[in-house]
């Protein structure tokens, strides 16, 4: 069967950027930055991207494009049948697994867009937002219905194929996402008191930087760039031979970082405008679905047209960001099932969707009817979240860097990265050095820290 490629370089970069730009950019990066030394944190974050994010991203791109195969197939080819082939399978599993809980949050963003558009936050007292969220997520039906819609949209895009589905949607959604982000950031920084918010976000404070901060920046860089879950490898398998790999990786990392910083410009000026303590806004779901709807209502005028527009666009932005990331995760699994088991794209995608539906519904219901099912004090959703983020991702990242640095044929690496000698690669030695030493050591430290073993050193 003829394998599709992306139709253009721009389309390929936008698709990969769509994978990278996701919920992590909005609900984690800005608050981490504000609390960990502002510009100082951003500098460390960018250094982490350069030192280990880019080398791993370039390696994933390279393996995908060289083999033109799904991630499991790609690693099977480059590992020449050695046990390293399991790294690809691990990536597929991780991506598929993450999608189950990621879709649940994607569904929540749809519901909050709906609530914003219908002005449902009008005259809601500040302390009520927590209850609204609790009631929503514990309801057995509403989040599940939104989940069906969210997964339905992903399924539709994936079944349309690489060019008419993934690439076309990325070309539409990424510029939309960018325009909305700029619009919201501009509105927010024009609010009275905004400068304090900008200071909170950007003022460098090196005294807040500790070894824990550095680990946090590394973990965030890793997740934000969508590394180690097969996404970039799978997308790169649709790159044509002329796509410059290093340059594309830099573009993707740049877009991802700019959007993450701009998300901070949306959030903190509004938070300071209403005189709220930025250290109390929370992180993740608490920040996004409890603190921020209240912040936006108060900052822009309760129930006003501006508040409705601002809040609706903000949740729509999150929806688009989550959707493009979710599509990339789905494609990892779809390409795997389709190619490894020799079935049509439609059939492969349907199997992937069916699995996500079942596991996604379980994750979704774990805030309500299934909340009694717990393991290590976590409900099903948190098990998926923590197991993938704390265990699967670091292990995958470490194995990819070790494989690319120590095992993969050096000449093959050089040929691919220089597009057969067409491009200059003055950074090659540094890249290999990072893959061999910096990345594996850094990722092991993040891993030990996340599972709690590293605390002894603090």
Residues that bind ligand PFF (CB under 6 A): 19-20, 22-25, 95, 98, 223-224, 226, 229, 231, 325, 328-329
The CB-of-91 to ligand PFF minimum distance in angstroms stands at 9
In the numeric block, which tokens belong to residue 346? Answer: 């439609």
Cβ atoms of residues 398 and 219 within 8 Å: no
- Pick the closer one to ligand PFF by CB: 224 or 251: 224
- Pick the closer one to ligand PFF by CB: 224 or 243: 224
Which string of b and e fits 241-268 if b means at least 16 CB within 10 Å?
A: eebbbbebbbbbbebbbebbbbbbbbbb
The CB-of-231 to ligand PFF minimum distance in angstroms stands at 4
The CB-of-322 to ligand PFF minimum distance in angstroms stands at 7
Q: How far is CA 143 from the centre of its chain?
A: 21
The CB-of-281 to ligand PFF minimum distance in angstroms stands at 19
Distances (CA, A) of 301 to 274, 276, 404: 11, 15, 53
The CB-of-405 to ligand PFF minimum distance in angstroms stands at 22
Cβ atoms of residues 293 and 126 within 8 Å: no
The CB-of-22 to ligand PFF minimum distance in angstroms stands at 2
Residue number, nearest CB to ligand PFF: 22
Q: Give the CA count within 13 Å in the CB-facing half-sphere of 125.
A: 3
- Pick the closer one to ligand PFF by CB: 184 or 228: 228
- Pick the closer one to ligand PFF by CB: 331 or 449: 331
In the numeric block, which tokens belong to residue 8? Answer: 């253009």
The CB-of-356 to ligand PFF minimum distance in angstroms stands at 13
Residue matched to tokens 């994750």: 363
The CB-of-347 to ligand PFF minimum distance in angstroms stands at 23
SS3 378: strand
Alpha helices in 366-438 (DSSP H): 380-386, 393-402, 410-417, 428-433
C-alpha 294/C-alpha 297 separation (Å) is 5
φ, ψ of residue 375 to 5 degrees: the values are -140, 130
C-alpha 28/C-alpha 19 separation (Å) is 16
C-alpha 446/C-alpha 458 separation (Å) is 13
SS3 375: strand
φ, ψ of residue 280 to 5 degrees: the values are -105, 5
- Pick the closer one to ligand PFF by CB: 121 or 223: 223
C-alpha 143/C-alpha 137 separation (Å) is 6
Angle at 22 between CA 442 and CA 384, to 5 degrees: 70
Q: How far is CA 55 from the centre of its chain?
A: 18
The CB-of-95 to ligand PFF minimum distance in angstroms stands at 5
- Pick the closer one to ligand PFF by CB: 57 or 402: 57
How many other C-beta atoms are found inside a 10 Å radius of the C-beta of residue 293? 23
- Pick the closer one to ligand PFF by CB: 59 or 226: 226
- Pick the closer one to ligand PFF by CB: 32 or 273: 32
How many other C-beta atoms are found inside a 10 Å radius of the C-beta of residue 402? 18
- Pick the closer one to ligand PFF by CB: 23 or 100: 23
The CB-of-227 to ligand PFF minimum distance in angstroms stands at 8
25 CB-near residues (< 8 Å, 6+ apart): 224, 256, 259, 260, 263, 321
- Pick the closer one to ligand PFF by CB: 65 or 307: 65
- Pick the closer one to ligand PFF by CB: 95 or 405: 95
C-alpha 441/C-alpha 3 separation (Å) is 37
- Pick the closer one to ligand PFF by CB: 24 or 405: 24
Q: Which DSSP state fits 406?
A: I
């Amino acid at each position: 069967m003829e394998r599709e490629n992306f139709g253009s370089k721009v389309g390929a970069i936008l698709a990969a950027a769509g994978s990278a730009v996701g919920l992590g950019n909005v609900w984690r990066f800005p608050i981490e930055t504000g609390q960990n030394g502002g510009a100082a944190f951003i500098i460390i974050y960018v250094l982490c991207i350069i030192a280990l994010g880019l080398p791993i991203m370039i390696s994933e791109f390279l393996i995908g494009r060289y083999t033109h195969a799904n991630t499991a197939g790609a690693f099977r080819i480059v590992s020449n049948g050695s046990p390293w082939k399991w790294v690809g399978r691990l990536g597929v599993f991780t991506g598929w697994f993450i999608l189950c809980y990621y879709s649940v949050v994607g569904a929540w963003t749809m519901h909050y867009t709906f609530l914003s558009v219908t002005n449902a936050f009008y005259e809601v007292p500040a302390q009520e937002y927590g209850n609204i969220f609790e009631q929503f997520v514990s309801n057995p039906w509403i989040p599940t219905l939104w989940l069906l819609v969210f997964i339905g949209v992903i399924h539709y895009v994936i079944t349309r194929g690489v060019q008419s589905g993934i690439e076309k949607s990325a070309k539409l959604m990424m510029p939309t996402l960018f325009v909305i982000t700029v619009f919201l950031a501009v509105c927010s920084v024009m609010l009275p008191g905004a400068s304090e918010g900008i200071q909170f976000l950007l003022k460098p404070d090196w005294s807040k930087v500790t070894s824990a901060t550095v680990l946090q920046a590394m973990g965030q860089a890793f997740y934000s760039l969508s590394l180690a879950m097969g996404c970039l490898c799978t997308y790169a398998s649709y790159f044509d031979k002329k796509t410059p790999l290093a340059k594309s990786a830099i573009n993707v990392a740049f877009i991802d970082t700019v959007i993450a910083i701009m998300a901070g410009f949306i959030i903190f000026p509004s938070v300071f405008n209403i005189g709220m303590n930025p250290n109390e806004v929370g992180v993740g779901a608490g920040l996004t679905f409890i603190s921020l709807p209240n912040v936006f209502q108060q900052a822009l005028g309760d129930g006003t047209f501006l508040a409705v527009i601002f809040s609706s666009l903000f949740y729509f932005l999150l929806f688009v960001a989550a959707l493009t990331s979710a599509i990339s995760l789905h494609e990892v699994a779809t390409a795997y099932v389709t190619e490894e088991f020799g079935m049509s794209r439609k059939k492969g995608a349907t199997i992937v969707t069916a699995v996500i539906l079942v596991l996604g519904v379980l994750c979704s219901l774990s805030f309500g009817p299934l909340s009694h099912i717990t393991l290590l004090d976590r409900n099903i959703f948190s098990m998926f979240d923590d197991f993938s983020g704390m265990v699967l991702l670091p292990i995958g990242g470490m194995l990819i860097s070790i494989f690319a640095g120590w095992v993969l044929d050096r000449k093959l690496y050089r040929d691919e990265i220089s597009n057969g000698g067409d491009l200059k690669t003055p950074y090659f030695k540094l890249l290999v050095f990072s893959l061999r030493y910096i990345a594996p050591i850094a990722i092991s430290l993040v891993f030990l820290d996340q599972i709690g073993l590293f605390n002894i050193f603090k």
